[in-house]
Structure 1
Amino acid sequence: MAELTQNEKKLLAALEPLKTAGPDTLSQILGTREDAVIQHAHLLADRGLAEVLRTTEVSYRLTDEGIEYREHGLPERQLYQSFGDSIPLPDLSKNPFSKIGIGQMRKKGWISIKDGVVKKTGTASEGDDERALRDPSIGGRPVQDLVKRGLLVEEETVSVSIRITSEGTALVRAGLDLTEETGTLTRDQIISGAWKDLALRRYDVGKLPKKAYPGKIHPYQRLIDHMRHLLLEMGFTEIQGSVVQSAFWNFDALFQPQDHPAREMQDTFYLGERLAVPEGYERVRDMHLFGGETTSSGWGGAWSRDKAEQCVLRTHTTSLSIQHLACNPEPPVKAFCISRVYRREAIDPTHLPEFEQLEGIVMDEGVSFRHLLGYLKEFYGRMGFEDVRFRPAYFPYTEPSVEPEVYVDGLGWVEMGGAGIFREEVTAPWGIRHPVLAWGLGVSRMAMLRLGLKDLRLLYRSDIEWIRETPTWVPEHRRGR
């Protein structure tokens, strides 16, 4: 057995006459902190010289509501005492305790309801839950029921005690050298050679120190910040905008017809507020009706200004891109946005009703589809995906359109978003005469691949252990900087 440290010896010597003691008692005897006592006790436990015992005690505390009901009776008891042998249900429903009390009285068999009349069925003797409200220490099912009702709060108290083993006792009785040791040498002790006569503290260099957890940015936020820095390095400007958008900017300005399925309630969060359409909205209206002054024939049918002024939680960040272009119709424009969007999705491991989306646009003289593919390949390459490919796709407001895919070991080719060149119907109403390259990708999908997750919901949970253990990812091209 390796030699004990001086602190371990002192703890054993203090513990031996007591046999078992708490860290508070031992810290007073040794003149040190309780956490230091526990740390040294664990080291002794590793050697079989002591045991660290943890005891958990459960107790119950009344909430403010529970205190009130203990004094005046549970809602069902107060409701029961508020009427005689019977009462019309509508009259009883006016009592402020009816919402809770009627159901509880029926559950306990205190009343029956027939033909709209509430009748008492018996004496309604005191129940176990009422006794538990007075004395939660009785425990059992009644107490758990009160916890579910929010009248009691369960609290756990963990206590630690340290007990010396027979091996530890034998070692103390055999004699421990408690000579004071020197842990730090002074300059004079080294120069004079006095250190040679000192009892030096021994250190086990093979023993791992206590793990330290420094402050750390959430892995998902760190990845978002990295994407932002990449795009800024590539010469893009970041744009931002409101979460609440008019249907005009979210749909109409992007040439999505007003009867498009994406506008239905099952896909979009509609709000009660309204926003006026901007100046020049007639050009967008005409584009929908008959193609405006372009060669397009539009969608035909009807176009409603009232529908365009409805407010929604933005379903994509493209609504911010088109507004930026409308304010900056002359080249060059290189902008991006990383923001949260909202859709009515059923929550599961791969879908959430709100998530982050990255949107990018480039508008300049002479840019082409080839430039778009180059931007995407460069961006994904800097994100650590070496193999990138593209396949044709369809999107309502771009033509031609593609879906970029990256190759991931163990998964194969994974689709990462959508891209294309804005259609003339989108740009012409704002006087934009040059091609606009546009793309969007789901940031959360990228994060799941980078962080090795299978459940999207983990990105939004405050799991301290996961945050601590997730390494800081740095792509190959940035290492060594």
Structure 2
Amino acid sequence: MELTLNEKRLLVALGPTGSADATILAKKMSARPEAVVQYANLAGERGLVNVEKRISRRFTPTEEGRTYLGKGLPERQLLESFGETIPMRDLQRHPLAKIGIGWMRKKGWVAIRDGVVQKTGASAPGPDEAAFARLGESGAVEDSVGVADLLRRGLVAEEEAVTYIVSMAPGGKALLAGGLDLQEETGTLTRDQILSGAWKGLSLRRYDVGKLPKRVYPGKIHPYQRLLDEMRRILFDMGFTEMAGGIVQSSFWNFDALFQPQDHPAREMQDTFFLGERWPLPAGYERVRDMHEFGGATSSTGWGGVWSAEKAQQCVLRTHTTSLSIQHLARHPKPPVKAFCIGRVYRREAIDPTHLAEFEQLEGVVMDEGVNFRHLLGFLKEFYGKMGFEKVRFRPGYFPYTEPSVEPEVYVDGLGWVELGGAGVFRQEVTAPFGIEHPVLAWGLGISRVAMLKLGLRDLRQLYRSDVEWVRETPTYGGRR
């Protein structure tokens, strides 16, 4: 059996005692403890030594705990600061009153009657005080009775210590008894050694080329963020520009400008997060008001009734990014317009594996001369195709602000057809108040659902968890990790 020099040195260092802590062996070998553990694991694979990993816990005082060391817990200090009775108003002047009074009552040391605090006589030190006393003597305590109480109170912090005990195995004893050659090994050859042929007389370190190296985890972009970036790149490649806006919007832009009636169920409290702020209505809001009440200057009859300016001023957490699309179109009423937005939206949803109260939405609009419904289907099919969904179909749908409207679906093996959003052509009632004279194609897609399908998740909440292991194990493009 051929051993490395470090394995031989380890056996020699273990010889006198047969067993030792890795830190002690490191001093003998003039090496780092981590390196000694590595040598021991290699020798352990050959059956020469045994490596035992021991984990111990100890508890040290926190910053607050240190202020009480040598004085006692705050309730004990407070209890010893007065005689048999004391008015509550006087006791409350003590610096430790806020902490100590509650603990004295909880431990049954005092009773409070008619504003007077009276000792009960039952104030023997408990396990927590005994543990705290040991802490003051040694600066740290092992896990024992009473320590858990100190930990819950934030008076101690837990520290974990890992030690490695290396002991000689029978195979190692046999090798050591037969004698070991401790000749220095060469692990790296220099240019001169190669050219001169001196390498032939050197003791070369042997390498196991079949042994897997230690796994390295380089920095990675979060899988969900990587997917968002991919969507953004696809839309840039398709000629779109990106738009953005705040998460707080007025009801005017979030609902009214999109011809959503003021009594629509989606505007009720169970679907929308309403805020206390109110924003003034933009110039020309009267055209939107008229559109709601009687159809304005179009052939529409509107929704009828009386439109409330006060209701339109109410601020909300945006329920969709379409509120940004209509504002972008209001600022750019002339063609061509080809823009998208990826942003977070908020709705009052019951949280479960497939629903969250906040999630990302991808919004897109195209406005130009001559664009029609077929162009809309083409844009969506192209986008989903670039996302890796080969089969795409469209189902008729209904939305208050588009006509005609569709719900795109993609086919996923094992799941069948899955609906991924809504799309359509903006109604005249939406575009006319802002002077838009050409067709506007619009869509809003649920990104989180796309992410679940692409990443193979069963729980939507996984996208937002700080799970380092999941980030490490999720393959990047081309199957790399």
Question: Normalised by the shorter chain, which TM-score bucket?
Answer: 0.7 to 0.9
Contact 2:58/2:142 (<8 A) preserved: no
**Cα distance in 2, alignment partners of residues 21 and 72 from structure 1:** 39
Secondary structure of 1:265's match? Answer: coil
Equivalent-residue separation in structure 1 for 2:459 and 2:331 (angstroms): 39
What secondary structure does 2:461 align onto?
Answer: helix
Q: d(CA) in 2 for partners of 1:179 and 1:438?
A: 77
Q: Judging changes above 3 Å, is the alpha-carbon distance between structure 1 residues 99 and 33 closer, same or farther for their aligned structure 2 residues?
A: closer
Report whether the alignment pairs 1:298 with 2:302: yes
Aligned-residue offset at 1:223: 1.0
Which residue matches 1:342?
346
Q: Which residue of 2 aligns with 1:184?
A: 188
Pairing 1:19–2:4 present: no
TM-superposed CA distance for 1:451, in Å, is 1.3
Judge conservation of contact 2:57–2:142 (CA < 8 Å) in 1: no
TM-fit CA distance, 1:173? 1.7
Q: Counterpart amino acid of 1:25?
A: I
Q: Report the counterpart of residue 401 of structure 2 in structure 1.
A: 397
Which of residues 354, 358, 374 in structure 2 aligns to 1:370? 374
Which residue of structure 2 lines up, in the alignment, with residue 50 of structure 1? 49
Measure the CA separation in 2 of the matches of 1:64 and 1:243: 40
Q: Structure 2: any 5+ residue segments left out of the alignment?
A: 136-140
Report how far residue 232 of structure 1 moved.
Answer: 0.3
Q: Say which of 358, 363, 366 aligns to 2:362.
A: 358
On the 8 A contact 1:389/1:406 being kept in 2, the answer is: yes
Question: Are the aligned partners of 1:336 and 1:360 in contact in 2 as well (CA < 8 Å)?
Answer: yes
Structure 2 CA distance for aligned equivalents of residues 222 and 195 of structure 1: 49
Q: Do residues 245 (structure 1) and 245 (structure 2) align? A: no
Within the candidate set 97, 117, 121, 1:123 is matched to 121
Q: Provide the secondary structure at the position in 1 that maps to 2:417.
A: strand
Alignment gaps of 5+ in structure 1: none
**Counterpart residue identity of residue 40, structure 2:** A
Task: Map 1:80-479 onto structure 2 (within 5 A).
Answer: 104=103, 107-110=106-109, 122-125=120-123, 126-135=125-134, 137=141, 139-140=143-144, 142-474=146-478
Tell me the amino acid that sits aligned with residue 36 of structure 2.
V
Deviates more, 1:222-231 or 1:312-321: 312-321
Change beyond 3 A, Cα 1:138–1:423: same
What is the Cα deviation at residue 299 of structure 1?
A: 2.2
How does the TM-score come out when normalised to structure 1? 0.88
Equivalent residue number for residue 59 of structure 2: 60
Which stretch shows the higher mean deviation, 102-111 or 164-173? 102-111
Once the two structures are TM-superposed, the CA of residue 233 in structure 1 deviates from its matched residue by: 0.4
* 1:163-187 deviations in Å (ceiling 9; x for gaps): 2222212212222232222223333
CA distance in 2 between counterparts of 1:411 and 1:98 reads: 62
Deviations 1:178-198 (A, max 9, x none): 222222333333333333332
**Whole-Å separation in 1 of the counterparts to 2:409 and 2:298:** 33
Offset from partner CA, 1:240-281 (integer Å, 9 cap, x none): 111222222112212222232322333322333332221111
Q: Secondary structure, in 3 states, of the residue corresponding to 1:207?
A: coil
Give the SS at the match of 2:380. Answer: helix
Cα deviation 1:379-420 (Å, max 9, x = unaligned): 111111111111112222222221111111122211111111
Counterparts of 2:128 and 2:397, CA distance in 1: 63
SS state at 1:311 partner? strand
- Find the counterpart in structure 1 of residue 138 from structure 2: none
Change (3 A) 1:82 1:222: farther
1:371–1:26 distance in 2 versus 1, CA, 3 Å: same
Give the AA of the match of 1:42.
N
- C-alpha deviations, 1:189-243, integer Å up to 9, x for none? 3333333332222211111111122221111111111111011001110111112
Preserved contact between residue 22 and residue 163 of structure 2 (Cα < 8 Å)? no
Contact 2:128 2:146 in 1 (8 A): yes
Report if aligned partners of 1:132, 1:138 keep a CA contact under 8 Å in 2: no
The Cα shift of 1:429 comes to 1.1
Q: How many residues are matched?
A: 473
Distance 2:25 2:323 in 1: 66
TM-score for both structures, normalised by structure 2: 0.88
C-alpha spacing 1:451/1:263, structure 2 compared with 1 (3 Å): same
Do the aligned partners of residues 10 and 73 (structure 1) sit closer, same or farther apart at CA in structure 2, a change above 3 Å counting?
closer
Whichever residue aligns with residue 3 of structure 1, its letter is E
Paired residues of 2:255 and 2:261 also in contact (CA < 8 A): yes
Contact 1:390 1:404 in 2 (8 A): yes
- 269-278 or 448-457, which moves further after superposition? 269-278
Contact 2:84 2:119 in 1 (8 A): no
